Each structure stands twice: as C-alpha cells, then as structure tokens.
Chains A and B, each alone.
Chain A
Amino acid sequence: MIEIKELFKNFGRNQVLNGVSLNIEKGETIVILGRSGCGKSVLLKHIIGLMRPDSGQIFIDEEEVTSYSNDKLYDLRKRFGMLFQGSALFDSMTVEENVGLGLTEHTHLGREKIKEIVKEKLRLVGMSGVENLRPAELSGGMKKRVGLARAIAMNPEFVLYDEPTTGLDPIMADVINELIIRLRDTLSITSIAVTHDIVSAYKIADRIAMLYEGKIIFAGTPEETKNTTDPVVKQFIEGSSEGPIPTLE
C-alpha cells in the first residue's frame, strides 16, 4: 500500500504539487487524470524517488520513504517498474539487453537464464522475436511494449505508467490497455497510471483520481466518476472547453 501525504513541490516560482494526498491499495489499478503539464509525471517521479518533495511524505507499506538515503532508494526501486511516456529505451542497447539489464546487473542468473526470462517477458507483451533489434528500428507502440517488458522484467510489486496510451493510434492504445489489465490479473501488480486519456482510464481503472491545481480533487470508482457532480471533473471527462477549468494560461 502506498500513502501519499500532503506532498508539495515547486520549481522556482512554479508550484507544481500543492498538497497532494492519495492512498493506493495493494493490487488495485489507479488512474490519475490531469491536463498536460499539471504535474502527473512529477507526481510519479516522487513515488519512485526520482524527485524529492519540498515537504510531505510518502509511505510504502507503512515505511516513510521520502527521507530514505540514496542507497535505500535504489533498493526500494527494485520493487518498482516504470513505463515512461516516450518508453525511454536505451538507444545503445538491443531490445534483449534493454529488457535484461536489471537482471544482468542485480541478479546472479546466468546468461541463458536471463535470455529465457527476457523471451518470456517479451512474449507476455506480444513482442516475441525482436530481441536483436535496436530501439530505433521499432515503432512507437512496439517501443511501449518493450518498455513494459523491461518494467516487469524483475517481477515488480508496483508498476507506474506515464501516459501509456498517449501518442498511439486507438487500436494500439487498446492493445496497451489490455496488457495493463492482463498484468494486473496474472501478476497481481499494483498499477498507478497517469494519463489524460479518459477512455483508457475507464477501461483499466479500479479507481480514478483527478489531479488539478496541484491537488487530488477527486477519487472514486469509474462509475462514481461518470456520475460525478464536481464541475471540474465533469468538464474534464466530457472534454469540454466550457466550465471552471481555465483554458487560457
């Protein structure tokens, strides 16, 4: 279980997180909705310890991790996988080396065993047979899937998805949605996805939260989200330019 308590973060004069509080239950898939630039990536990076908050705490299984030393953070990260918005595959490595990197560096498994695991993970995301290709040879959707294989290579307890469907065609987006659902069902992973793709959110989420002006202003089931009376959430899920959300910066 992950508890986020009163998280604040600013970059210079830009107050990005303004007291974010949210609980994430074991085994659930939570989708955090928000407009572009509202701090979704920043929030994910706090959860995995890539950024440290100005104030506030994050507890993982009752342990406060925001004050962890760097060494402890590195250990903690082994329990996480993260799929980046642009996949962030290592250009200088093949697909196989990308997916197997964590295993090569953190385990004592032999080369053959790692090859086998990589193959299995690639099969899981429907990307068998691309082991020897380089990221530059893959399409956007293929990169996402390889990135996902890399994220789950070490059997993490938590997987963070940064806009998993953004920039993909609707069919590929749905393939990724299905994969996220399958991973939760087969590997019982706790998933945290941030996105502005409302269709994807309805499809994969057990719970939907909304990040707005640096705070979580709403959290509920997809059903509750659909029937919400909150004007901001309502405007966002309807994708309307009319409403309380300012459209001019």
Chain B
Amino acid sequence: MPRNENPLRVIGGKTTLFFEMAGEFAILIKNILLGLPVSIKKFHLTVEQMLFMGVNSLPLIMITSIFTGGVASVQAAYMFSDYVPMRYLGTAVGKSVILELGPVLTALVVAGRVGAAIAAELGTMKVTEQIDALETLALDPVKYLVAPRFISGLIMLPVLTIFSDFIAILGGLLVSTLFLNVSSFTFLNGLKLFFRMSDVWAGLLKAFVFGGIIALVGCYMGFRTEGGAEGVGRSTTRAVVMASVMILITDYILASFLFGS
C-alpha cells in the first residue's frame, strides 16, 4: 500500500522500531540465560544444530577462505612493492587473516547460509502455528528452539573461524610461492615473526560474538514472521541483511575496544 508518509514520521517510526528491537533482543538473551540449565540438560538439541551449522557452511567457507588468503597475499605484495621487504608478506597475510578476514568472512558466509536457514525454519513454524503448538504443550520455544541455536552459534563460529584461518593462510602461502616468488620458508618465517597468541584470541572473540548475533537475529526474525510463505521469504532476507550489518558494526566496535588506544 503506497502511502504518502511524512518523512519525519518514517524516521520516528524506524527509531521506535530500533529501540523496540533492542529491547526484545535483551529480553531474548535474558530468557536464554534463565533457561540455560534446561539447555544443558537437552544438549543433544544443541549438538544437532552444531552439526547443521558445520556441515552447511564448511564447503563454502573453504572456498571463500582459500581465495581470500590468496587475495590477501597479492594485495599485500602490491602494497609492499619496493618499500617493504617480502619477508614480511607472511606477517601481513597472517595478521589480516587472523584478526579480520577469517572471523568476518566466516561470519558473513554463515549469516547467509545458517542465519537464513534459521529464520526460514522458525518463520515457517510461526506461520503454521507450530510455535503456538509448542507453547500449548507447555514447552518454551526459547528453551527448545532459540537456546540450542544460540549456543551452537557461540561454539561453532570460533571453530569454523579456526578452519577458515588455516585455509586462508594456506591460500596465501600457495599464491606467494606459486606466483609471487616468495618461498614458503620466507612466508612462514614472516608469519612467525610477529605472531601473537593474543591476536588469535581476539579473532576468536569476534567470532564468538558474531555467532551469537547470527543465531539471535535468525531466531528473532523467524519469530516475528507474519503472513504465510511470502512473510517467510521476507524474514529470511531481513535476517541475512540485518545480521551482516550488525556483524560489520560490531566488528568495528570490538576492534576499537581491543586495539584502540
């Protein structure tokens, strides 16, 4: 329905919606935490979700990671040109992969695959009254549907990120030895040179937060679904877009906390 809306009113509406959503997110997280004892007792539900997340995203993560590592190598070499010695190539690739590319790209891939799947599944359950049915059986959807996905996201994103880090660095190594005339010895030495375990932890902390975001946004959009199959499609798209935006914003916030002076 095209309506002649006052732009101020639209902005006001969106702002209200933002705060409403923030509030609902907070309530969702609170309820997950309250239901944690139940979730631990029903850990098989979480394991199911972990397998789903892993199996669904691994192939795509492998492909994106190997090329991302390759690109990181090529671009770093280009930026170094004659000013920075090539023995630092491994350092540059390693740092950028571990701190930024691994966690963020993994999260974006998982948001597209798993976040969308969560929103579609829960959205379908919502519009076919399966969520209501769960409630009438005195089973709390937050404990049975949201918590397993949330916990699984928190665990699986770091795991997938570790995979992604390894494969991306391997991609960087391959490109540098095959096309950039940098031996694997030089590359790996560079990688070791300024390697710090704290960087790995920082990257994994990001992944942990991103995992929570993807699951929460997927569930939230699923629960909000209205209006049949069309509504499910809308929620799915929204979940991916919103998770992606939130991942990038949170990435910045975390980076300024972790590395800002």
Contacts and interface: CB of A to CB of B under 8 A. Distances in A.
Contacts of B135: 50, 77
Contacts of A80: 136
B246 to A, nearest CB: 27
Interface in A96-127: 101-102, 105-106
Interface string B92-135: 00000000000000000000000000000000110011101111
Contact of B140 (A74, A78, A101, A106): A74
B136 A81 contact: yes
Contacts of A89: 130, 133
A82 interface: yes
Contact of B132 (A45, A74, A91, A105): A45
A102 B124 contact: no
Contacts of A45: 132
A102 B136 CA distance: 10
A75 B130 CA distance: 19
Interface of B is mostly: helix
A188 interface: no
Nearest to B124: A91
B9 to A, nearest CB: 15
A50 B130 contact: no
Contact of B136 (A48, A75, A86): A48
Interface string A71-92: 0001101101110111011110
Contact of A77 (B125, B128, B138): B138
Contacts of A150: 133, 137
Nearest to B42: A105
Contacts of B137: 77, 101-102, 105, 150
A102 B128 contact: no
- Identify which of B125, B129, B140 gathers the most chain A CB atoms within 10 Å of its CB: B129
Nearest to B48: A92
B138 A84 contact: no
Contacts of B124: 91
A48 to B, nearest CB: 6
Contact of B130 (A48, A74, A85, A91): A91
B138 A82 contact: no
Contacts of B130: 88-91
Most buried by A among B124, B130, B135, B138: B138
A106 B38 CA distance: 13
A50 B132 contact: yes
B137 to A, nearest CB: 5
20 contacts: A48-B136, A50-B135, A78-B138, A82-B132, A82-B133, A82-B136, A85-B129, A86-B129, A88-B128, A88-B130, A89-B130, A89-B133, A90-B125, A91-B124, A91-B125, A91-B130, A101-B137, A105-B137, A105-B139, A150-B137
